[in-house]
Amino acid sequence: MLVCNTSLKILTPYDLYEQCATSFFFELFCFMYVSFRIPGDGRCLFRSVVHGACLRAGKPSPSESIQKELADELRSKVADEFIRRRTDTEWFLEGDFDTYVKQIRKPQAWGGEPELLMCSHVLRMPITVYMSTDSSDGLKIIAEYGQEYGKENPIRVLYHGYGHYDALQMPLTKTKSKWYMKS
């Protein structure tokens, strides 16, 4: 989500935060989060994680074509990670392990919890999964992966509950606001 100011300069969420920090919009902005719409092409989990990794590293959001390329690369590494960790992962995958890994290598195959866990190991970064709530809390943490790689500034993804993931950015990641920390 990008916002334009009156000079038609495109603002990132951090630019908006800087402009609003001294205005009456500050309190409103503090409770916002930015969700980046990810195409639903079977790669949404991997695209969301790649997008989040770029944000976490302070890099600009990748273009759609680069995001797709990086997502496919991450998918391949995740499949390899399943194989490396076969004795630890085989028991929680549905069906035959070799068939599962072969299937997850296909670009249209959806990813879920097992793939998020492997993404955290491949990237050596924590990943937090959020879901929207109907209450005033806004977002709820539904899963955390890779806590052994740290707990600060995780990659954040938003799960919509019907098989789709978007990238998520919390503008005030250093502030532990109750609205996004409730579980």
Does the annotation mark 166 as catalytic? Answer: no
| Cα–Cα dist 85/90, whole Å | 8
Largest CA distance in the chain: 58
Could you tell me whether strands 34-36 and 165-169 are parallel, antiparallel, or unpaired per DSSP bridges?
A: antiparallel
Q: Which of 15, 30, 41, 80 is catalytic?
A: 41
Does the annotation mark 15 as catalytic? Answer: no
Does the annotation mark 20 as catalytic? Answer: no
Torsion sign across C-alpha atoms 128, 96, 88, 75? negative
Chain centroid offset of residue 174 CA: 17
Cβ atoms of residues 71 and 43 within 8 Å: yes
Q: Which of 15, 30, 80, 164 is catalytic?
A: 164
CB neighbour burial string for 146-175, b if at least 16 within 10 angstroms, e if fewer: beeeeeeebbbbbbeeeebbbbbbbbeeee
Q: Which of 20, 44, 54, 119 is catalytic?
A: 44
Rounded (5°) CA angle 163-167-168:
115
DSSP 3-state assignment of 20?
Answer: helix
Which residue numbers are catalytic? 41, 44, 164
